[in-house]
A and B are shown apart, each in its own frame.
Chain A
Amino acid sequence: MRRFSWFNATSLTFGFVFLYLPMLLLVIYSFNSSKLVTVWAGFSTKWYGELLQNEAFLDAAWVTLRVAVISSTIATVLGTMAAYVLVRSGRFLGRTLFSGMIYAPLVMPDVITGLSLLLLFIGIGLDRGVLTIVLAHTTFAMCYVSVVVSSRLVSFDKSLEEAALDLGCTPMQSFRLVTLPIIAPAVISGWLLAFTLSLDDLVIASFTAGPSSTTLPIKIFSAVRLGVSPEINALSTIMIGIVTIGVISASLITKRSMVRQQLEEQEAIRT
């Protein structure tokens, strides 16, 4: 029996107020007409208008989006391969080193990852730009993808793959027709994770970006170092809005597909 007491109710209330109030204030005050950010002077959407005129921000947003799409896609392919190797390949030479290199970037401080990649790029004479950020983001994001995908691979029934092979599939076909559909949710959430990590990253991008390839977080960081600004509030509100819509619709879709799967399973049992 669970007892939901007044203590539980208060700690949940305080907890969620603490988690959400700062962002709520940010959203509300992005509609403030005053330049003074913390003094309310009436409703206005002018900061959004100014934001859309600000080409430096728009350029940075475009760079960020391109980097995020490219790096998360490569990271998903490489990460899924790495997960498959870790879970299914058994022993091979250097396996310990391989799994170490998958897990280490997850706990590595960003400043160290950024510094080491920058020193590599300078060492081999690669000019810093979009390419170097993509390489950097792909490297740490593939490790996150491989952790997400391998936890799905571990839990799924290997005999399904074996059955496909027995029935005459080539290994590639069995992967495409059996394995991939089963691990697809994990692959998609791995991609989403890689995408948001890339959108979000400030430190590694600062080390690996060149002067012509500023990303949005770098731009935001240099703006907010000088203090709070209504334009940044407007930008933050847009980003919070996109994420909220994305997460809620993703959870609704998974819920619906789970319900449908259950119905199909019941149907299958009945017939």
Chain B
Amino acid sequence: MRRFFLIFIPYIWLLALFLVPFLIVFKISLSDIALAIPPYVPVIEWSDGWAGFKNFLSQLDLENFVWLTQDDLYWKAYLSSLKIAAVSTVLTLMVGYPIAYSMAQAPNEWRPTLMMLVILPFWTSFLIRVYSWMGILGKEGFLNQFLLWTGMISEPLQIMNTPTAVYIGIVYTYLPFMILPIYSALEKLDASLLEAAEDLGCSRLSAFWLVTIPLSKNGIIAGSFLVFIPALGEFVIPSLLGGSGTLMIGKVLWEEFFSNRDWPVASAVAVVLLLLLIIPIILFQKNEQKSREMDQ
């Protein structure tokens, strides 16, 4: 009986507040927009019984999904989200790998402090971290002031409200997610393997390519997915740093819902975004499972 309650309460909570809401989104994505409250049809008429339910089912269609393929805005937004997420994942890897690598090389007594320094920004507000770049990248921002002062440029650069600003924002906010898995892979690396490679005639650089990189592969893959998956549906960064020129699907969904009040299309956008995410999520799970098996 006690065990039953233990399972029952969290189970019901998640069913009611995670699964059911998602089924509602799916259902509304098959509905049509209407000038009513709620602003979509059909709504199930419970009073009509089975006939009402059949009538309800017959009114559902894929119109909104067809609409997504016809209007340029949507598929361009999906493509540009995929591109921005992919490019910023690569950039984060390029910035994060040297940091993780150097942390793993650092003397043992420094490591807890270095770890804490990487994790600390993760505990501070995401919104504030994105906001802090608005003062740096703006027209009169610190970066432009600095570059003008050094004489490297004569006109302020337009970085704010461009995709570049979005890349910087994503790299900055998701960097800890990249560093930590790579660091934990590199930390386990047996240094004698590198010595062996060098003894056998490898240069330091080729030993790095042939030994270090392959052995940290699981960390690289895990870190990349931890950046790519949330970046794809990102809303805050493109709306604060990206301006109107940067299309990202999270922003489109938000505007579809709050500005256009088109709930059916917003729901369809959400369903497609989720379908896009399923493949990287499955790949990520596989990678996690593999690295867990290797640890044992």
Q: Do A and B make up one complex? A: yes
Give chain A residues whose Cβ lies under 8 Å from the Cβ of B257. Answer: 115, 207
Number of interface residues of A (CB under 8 A): 84
Is B235 interfacial (CB-CB < 8 Å)? yes
Q: Are B270 and A25 in contact (CB under 8 A)?
A: no
Is B17 interfacial (CB-CB < 8 Å)? yes
Bound complex: CA of A107 vs CA of B281, how far in Å?
8
Give chain A residues whose Cβ lies under 8 Å from the Cβ of B13. Answer: 78, 138-139, 142
Is A15 interfacial (CB-CB < 8 Å)? yes
Q: Are B121 and A23 in contact (CB under 8 A)?
A: yes
B contact face: mostly helix, strand, loop, or mixed: helix
Question: How many interface contacts (CB-CB < 8 Å) are there between A and B?
Answer: 230
CB distance from A51 to the nearest CB of B (A): 14
Q: Are A139 and B235 in contact (CB under 8 A)?
A: no
Q: Are B21 and A239 in contact (CB under 8 A)?
A: no
Known: A109-B250, A111-B235. A38 touches B140 (CB 8 A): yes
Is A262 interfacial (CB-CB < 8 Å)? no
Bound complex: CA of A98 vs CA of B117, how far in Å?
35
Bound complex: CA of A139 vs CA of B126, how far in Å?
20
CB distance from B291 to the nearest CB of A (A): 14
Is A184 interfacial (CB-CB < 8 Å)? no
Bound complex: CA of A59 vs CA of B235, how far in Å?
25
Is B6 interfacial (CB-CB < 8 Å)? yes
Give chain A residues whose Cβ lies under 8 Å from the Cβ of B159. Answer: none
With beta carbons under 8 angstroms apart, the residue of A7, A23, A102 that contacts B124 is A23
Could you name 5 residue pairs across A and B whose Cβ atoms are closer than 8 Å?
Answer: A20-B121, A26-B131, A110-B233, A139-B14, A203-B254
Residues of chain A whose beta carbon lies under 8 Å from any beta carbon of chain B: 1-5, 7-9, 11-12, 15-16, 18-20, 22-23, 25-26, 29, 36-39, 78-79, 81-82, 84-85, 89, 92, 94, 97-98, 101-102, 104-105, 107-112, 115-117, 119-120, 122-123, 135-136, 138-139, 142, 146, 171-172, 196, 199-200, 202-203, 207, 217, 220-221, 224-225, 227-228, 232-233, 236, 239-240, 243-244, 246-248, 251
